[in-house]
């Protein structure tokens, strides 16, 4: 059903800078090509160009894009418009942002057929229901009458796939379709995507930064770097015998690596103890219970120099735990002990010294650094605030901090806007280190970073822990990351702590079923992993007819 | 494998974006950022500002002393903009009026935006009941029609320049407050403000160092718009006879005094009206073309 795609010498420019440089590749009908690379490598720009589209400020400056017999770039605007959504369709990263919240799902899914006048509404709806069924959506007959907020994120992502596939396109472009999803949801969505892509023999271009995900989907992988092709080869070839240095770097970053701390737990002092902690949001009733309880009865012990990972899906209360420890949210029950003393529940009640010893590092370095302050001022403030440093010692200390996080000293005069994501995250870490804390609360610090950059930041964090002896409470949804840096893992679901697993037992069972589900859901960097999972799921389903956990 | 790739990864991360050459920020370059329509606005605005500041020195004769019998004279070589209902030179009157119109409006706008922004920062940074009290209190103020409020103030305290500045200031505080608060509340929810809070910073630091610099741009644009509103409010007050009192006259009162010329086709009623229009349009052109605004809208940081 799919059509061959040929791209020749595609170049895209924005002003004076070249975003995509002379890119040539082709995809056979029914095959899946993955575009992989770090952010800013031109993946999405290339993908959009396949529809003849360039984002504002960008311009397709040369080359040919041919889908079947159509030369996309030679068409005029009107004919390109009629091409999009019918011959080529696009599945974007955030389905939540791509659906109109005030119209029903069915209205939006059949929209491409209405716009292009492909078939009657009733026909289109029947086809949509068929697609819902193929994509393994629950209640396929009625899900269309719901509104986007009434379905989950993973379901919405699959509904967007239905929207893209309803016009029977020759080419489907999937732009990071599972990046915003939890691992357990991701696997469902991947499974559904792969099934429809295979059954319909669609030609697809899959854009992602995650090699493990791509390994399950793609026949060929194209590695992009700075708009240039680094390597293009069959998936097995890339995974087993990469040629290009950058590809090797990507592969190394994607493979689990244990970053040992050298510090054993148990023989050092107890640093943080969380006892029967409960907290929530909303008005508090007579018994002191908030309207919406987020955390229930959490117990946790963290020894000096230890790193504990907190893992769970979005909404499991991981971040709320960090906020309660930091004093940003007043617990309704339980207490937090720090270094032998009870910590007061709110920020205002804690002393500056207590505040200094616990620092928090946030996920989005973009919003964690004030865009109007230079790096110098950002780093100088905690030094002035806690230690009253000024003049030469202040300068020395700032340079030390920059050296510590491996940033060149010249960045001190820049604004955060002039730094890359990884550099910002380093500044973010440096600011926390400036206070010389005993405990750093890391809230998804690597989630917004590319694999290679994230690996470097994790290396840095492990090194800092060895050198400075700081402890981490490391919050993440990514088991992979947590396993590589943490001595123990706390698994959370629905605001409760399910289990705690020590490093020595990571690979030894038996564990709580939810931990096992999480561990199983992390894509492995090999082909056929998803098939094995399907197989395992099928045998499990025949053994236990009802599944315990729904994604 | 791991040991060999890690250093490359680190250096790759550290060197990723090439060091951007420092942008030259000469005044000429800044001016060029306005674009043609912005420059036109800037020129007109500059003209009126100069007129307000230097006008009386440039004019060889005082307007009030120029009374002749030549009432509502048309444009001529002797009177470039004609004469008013007492036969005074319109050019001199308009230029003298510029001092009142622009001066009072500027002071009132600064007062309104300044107070509004400070209150908004306080509300956003401290939250809870301070926010609630300030917001509801200023909402109440919005409910009173501005002209009625001005009327009451003038009736109660008489009309004088400080009185007008304060009145116009009070009337436009809630608008500036609303604008600044909505911006500040968004900034207040960002992680860097949370980090500052967990550091133990006081409300004043969070207001002035963390939030204010990040709402300054939009608030300056808002200041310009608010200036236009104040000019129009003052003009309409003067037209009603509640503003600047004779013998001094701002542009609004010039229109009222010379309304009789409308029937005779004299220039004296058109000129001050055109002055008001040109000033407000010029300010709007400047605001709409502030350098960097276009870049910000494209999402370039």
pLDDT band at B99 (very low <50, low <70, confident <90, very high): confident
Shared domain for A184 and A124, answered yes or no, is yes
In a domain, B279, yes or no: yes
Shared domain for A104 and A249, answered yes or no, is yes
In a domain, B17, yes or no: no
pLDDT-wise least confident of A69-73, A408-412, B11-15: B11-15
Q: Quick one: CA torsion of B27, B33, B38, B41, rounded to 10 degrees?
A: -10
**Looking at the complex, does the CB of residue B186 fall below 8 Å from at least one CB of chain A?**
no
In a domain, B74, yes or no: no
pLDDT band at B61 (very low <50, low <70, confident <90, very high): low
Q: What is the CATH number of the domain that holds B265?
A: 1.10.3720.10
Which of A461 and B268 is assigned the larger pLDDT? A461
Summarize the confidence of residues A509-532 as an average pLDDT.
78
Cis peptide leading into residue A501 (ω within 30°): no
CA A110 to mean position of chain CA atoms? 29
According to the model, what pLDDT value does residue A550 have?
46
Residue B265's H or E segment, with its range, is none
In a domain, A62, yes or no: yes
pLDDT band at B112 (very low <50, low <70, confident <90, very high): very high
| DSSP secondary structure letters along B151-174 | HHHHHHH---HHHHHHHHHHHHHH
Shared domain for A35 and A97, answered yes or no, is yes
Q: Which of B17, B195, B301 sits opposite A360 (nearest CB)?
A: B195
pLDDT at A171 over 80: yes
Location of structure tokens 């991947």: A190
Among A17-21, A444-448, B207-211, name the most confident range.
B207-211
In a domain, B62, yes or no: no
Count of domains observed in chain B = 1
pLDDT at A242 over 70: yes
According to the model, what pLDDT value does residue B5 have?
40
* pLDDT per position as a tens digit, A134-155: 888 888 888 888 888 888 777 8
In a domain, A59, yes or no: yes
**Looking at the complex, does the CB of residue A457 fall below 8 Å from at least one CB of chain B?**
yes
In a domain, B219, yes or no: yes
Shared domain for A378 and A506, answered yes or no, is yes
According to the model, what pLDDT value does residue A183 have?
79
Count of domains observed in chain A = 2
Q: Is the pTM for the entire model greater than 0.80? A: no
Q: Between chains, do A249 and B6 touch, taking CB under 8 Å as contact?
A: no
Q: Between chains, do B194 and A362 touch, taking CB under 8 Å as contact?
A: yes
CA A224 – CA B14 distance, rounded (Å): 19
pLDDT at B72 over 70: no
CA A173 – CA B130 distance, rounded (Å): 51
Residue A302's H or E segment, with its range, is strand A290-303
According to the model, what pLDDT value does residue B68 have?
61
Report which of A271, A324, A329, A268 is spatially closest to residue A298, judged by C-alpha positions. A324
Q: Between chains, do A355 and B191 touch, taking CB under 8 Å as contact?
A: no
pLDDT at B121 over 80: yes
Structure tokens at A322: 């960090």
| Chain A interface test: which of B11, B12, B16, B202 (most A C-beta within 10 Å) | B16
pLDDT band at B17 (very low <50, low <70, confident <90, very high): very low
Q: Between chains, do B191 and A367 touch, taking CB under 8 Å as contact?
A: yes
In a domain, A481, yes or no: yes
In a domain, A68, yes or no: yes
In a domain, B13, yes or no: no
Which of A63 and A447 is assigned the larger pLDDT? A63
* pLDDT per position as a tens digit, B169-196: 999 999 999 999 999 998 988 889 988 9
In a domain, B244, yes or no: yes
According to the model, what pLDDT value does residue A41 have?
81
Location of structure tokens 């926010």: B131
Residue A22's H or E segment, with its range, is strand A17-27
Largest CA distance in chain A: 76
pLDDT-wise least confident of A84-98, A197-211, A226-240, B84-98: B84-98
Which of A529 and A272 is assigned the larger pLDDT? A272
Give chain A positions within 8 Å (CB) of B190.
367-368
According to the model, what pLDDT value does residue A64 have?
87
Classify strands A333-338 and A341-342 as parallel, antiparallel or unpaired.
Answer: antiparallel
Q: Name the residue in chain A with its Cα closest to that of B196.
A: A382
**Looking at the complex, does the CB of residue A388 fall below 8 Å from at least one CB of chain B?**
no
**Looking at the complex, does the CB of residue B297 fall below 8 Å from at least one CB of chain A?**
no
Shared domain for A214 and A363, answered yes or no, is no
Domain of B280, in residue numbers: 37-57+79-291
Shared domain for A247 and A362, answered yes or no, is no
Strand segments, DSSP code E, in A381-458 are: 439-443
Domain of A11, in residue numbers: 5-254
Shared domain for A429 and A501, answered yes or no, is yes
In a domain, A297, yes or no: no
Which residues 221-250 of chain A have a CB within 8 Å of chain B? Answer: 245, 248-249
Instruction: State what percent of residues in chain B have pLDDT above 90.
Output: 13
In a domain, A156, yes or no: yes
| Contact status, residue B301 vs residue A372, Cβ threshold 8 Å | no
Mean pLDDT of chain A: 83
Summarize the confidence of residues A124-133 as an average pLDDT.
89
According to the model, what pLDDT value does residue B91 have?
76
| Chain A interface test: which of B199, B213, B294 (most A C-beta within 10 Å) | B199
Shared domain for A146 and A220, answered yes or no, is yes
CA distance A141 to chain B (A): 41
According to the model, what pLDDT value does residue A543 have?
64
According to the model, what pLDDT value does residue B180 have?
93
Q: What is the CATH number of the domain that holds A477?
A: 3.40.50.300
In a domain, B266, yes or no: yes
Shared domain for A249 and A310, answered yes or no, is no
* DSSP reduced 3-state for A143: helix
CA distance B191 to chain A (A): 5
């Amino acid at each position: 059903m799919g059509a061959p795609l040929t791209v020749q010498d595609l170049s895209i420019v924005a002003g004076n800078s070249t975003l995509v440089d002379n890119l040539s590749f082709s995809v056979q009908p029914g095959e899946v090509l993955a575009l992989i690379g770090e952010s800013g490598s031109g993946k999405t720009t290339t993908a959009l160009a396949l529809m003849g589209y360039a984002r504002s400020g960008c311009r397709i400056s040369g080359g040919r894009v041919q889908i079947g017999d159509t030369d996309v770039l030679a068409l005029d605007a009107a004919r390109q418009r009629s091409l999009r959504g019918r011959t080529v369709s696009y599945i974007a990263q955030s389905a939540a942002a791509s659906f109109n919240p005030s119209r029903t799902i069915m209205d939006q899914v059949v929209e491409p057929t209405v716009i292009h006048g492909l078939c009657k509404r009733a026909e289109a709806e029947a086809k949509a229901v068929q697609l819902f069924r193929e994509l393994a959506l629950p209640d396929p007959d009625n899900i269309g009458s719901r509104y986007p907020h009434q379905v989950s994120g993973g379901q919405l992502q699959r509904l967007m796939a239905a929207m893209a596939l309803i016009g029977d396109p020759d080419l489907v472009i999937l732009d990071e379709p599972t990046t915003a999803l939890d691992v357990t949801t991701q696997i469902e969505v991947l499974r559904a995507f792969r099934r429809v892509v295979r059954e319909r023999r669609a030609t697809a271009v899959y854009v992602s930064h995650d090699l493990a995900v791509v390994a399950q989907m793609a026949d060929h992988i194209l590695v992009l770097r700075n708009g240039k092709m680094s390597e293009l080869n069959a998936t097995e070839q890339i995974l087993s015998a990469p040629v290009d240095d950058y590809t090797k770097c990507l592969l190394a970053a994607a493979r689990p690596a244990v970053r040992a701390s050298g510090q054993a737990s148990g023989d050092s002092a107890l640093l943080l103890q969380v006892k029967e902690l409960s907290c929530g949001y909303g008005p508090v009733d007579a018994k002191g219970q908030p309207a919406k309880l987020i955390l229930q009865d959490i117990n946790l012990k963290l020894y000096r120099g230890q790193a504990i990972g907190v893992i769970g899906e979005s909404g499991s209360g991981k971040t709320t735990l960090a906020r309660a420890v930091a004093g940003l949210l007043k617990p309704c029950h339980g207490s937090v002990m720090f270094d032998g003393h009870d910590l007061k529940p709110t920020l205002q009640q804690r002393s500056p010294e207590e505040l200094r010893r616990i620092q928090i590092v946030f996920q989005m370095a973009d919003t964690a650094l004030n865009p109007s302050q230079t790096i110098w001022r950002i780093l100088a403030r905690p030094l002035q605030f806690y230690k009253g440093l000024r003049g030469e010692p202040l300068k020395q200390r700032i340079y030390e901090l920059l050296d510590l996080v491996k940033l060149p000293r010249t960045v001190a005069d820049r604004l955060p806007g002039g730094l890359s994501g990884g550099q910002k995250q380093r500044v973010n870490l440096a600011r926390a280190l400036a206070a010389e804390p005993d405990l750093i609360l890391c809230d998804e610090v690597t989630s917004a970073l590319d694999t290679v950059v994230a690996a470097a930041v994790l290396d840095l964090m492990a090194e800092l822990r060895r050198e400075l002896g700081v402890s981490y409470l490391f919050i993440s949804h990514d088991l992979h990351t947590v396993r590589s840096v943490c001595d123990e893992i706390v698994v959370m679901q629905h605001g409760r702590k399910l289990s705690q697993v020590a490093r020595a037992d990571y690979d030894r069972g038996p564990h709580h079923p939810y931990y096992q589900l999480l561990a199983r859901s992390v894509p492995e960097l090999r082909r056929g992993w998803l098939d094995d999972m399907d197989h395992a799921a099928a045998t499990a389903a025949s053994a236990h007819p009802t599944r315990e956990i729904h994604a | 494998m791991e040991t060999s790739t890690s250093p490359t990864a680190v250096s790759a991360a550290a060197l990723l974006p090439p060091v951007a050459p420092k942008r030259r920020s000469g005044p000429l370059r800044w001016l060029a950022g306005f674009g043609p329509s912005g420059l036109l606005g800037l020129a007109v605005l500059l003209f009126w500002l100069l007129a307000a500041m230097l006008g009386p020195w440039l004019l060889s004769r005082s307007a009030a002393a120029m009374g002749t019998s030549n009432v509502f004279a048309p444009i001529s070589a002797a009177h470039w903009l004609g004469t008013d209902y007492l036969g005074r030179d319109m050019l001199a009157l308009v230029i003298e009026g510029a001092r009142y119109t622009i001066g009072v409006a500027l002071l009132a706008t600064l007062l309104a935006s300044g107070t509004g922004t400070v209150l908004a920062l306080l509300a956003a940074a401290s939250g809870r009941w301070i926010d609630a009290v300030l917001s509801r209190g200023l909402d109440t103020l919005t409910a009173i029609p501005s002209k009625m409020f001005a009327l009451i103030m003038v009736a109660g305290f008489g009309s004088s320049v400080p009185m007008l500045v304060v009145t116009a200031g009070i009337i436009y505080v809630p608008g500036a407050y609303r604008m600044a608060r909505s911006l500040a509340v968004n900034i207040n929810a960002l992680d860097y403000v949370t980090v500052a809070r967990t550091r133990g910073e006081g409300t004043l630091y969070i207001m002035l160092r963390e939030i204010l610099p990040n709402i300054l741009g939009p608030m300056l644009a808002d200041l310009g718009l608010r200036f236009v509103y104040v000019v129009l409010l003052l003009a309409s007050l003067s037209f009603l006879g509640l503003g600047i009192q004779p013998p001094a006259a701002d542009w609004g009162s010039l229109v009222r005094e010379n309304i009789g010329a409308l029937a005779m086709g004299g220039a004296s009623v058109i000129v001050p009206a055109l002055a008001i229009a040109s000033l407000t349009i010029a300010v709007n052109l400047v605001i709409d073309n502030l350098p960097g605004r276009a870049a910000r809208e494209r999402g370039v940081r």
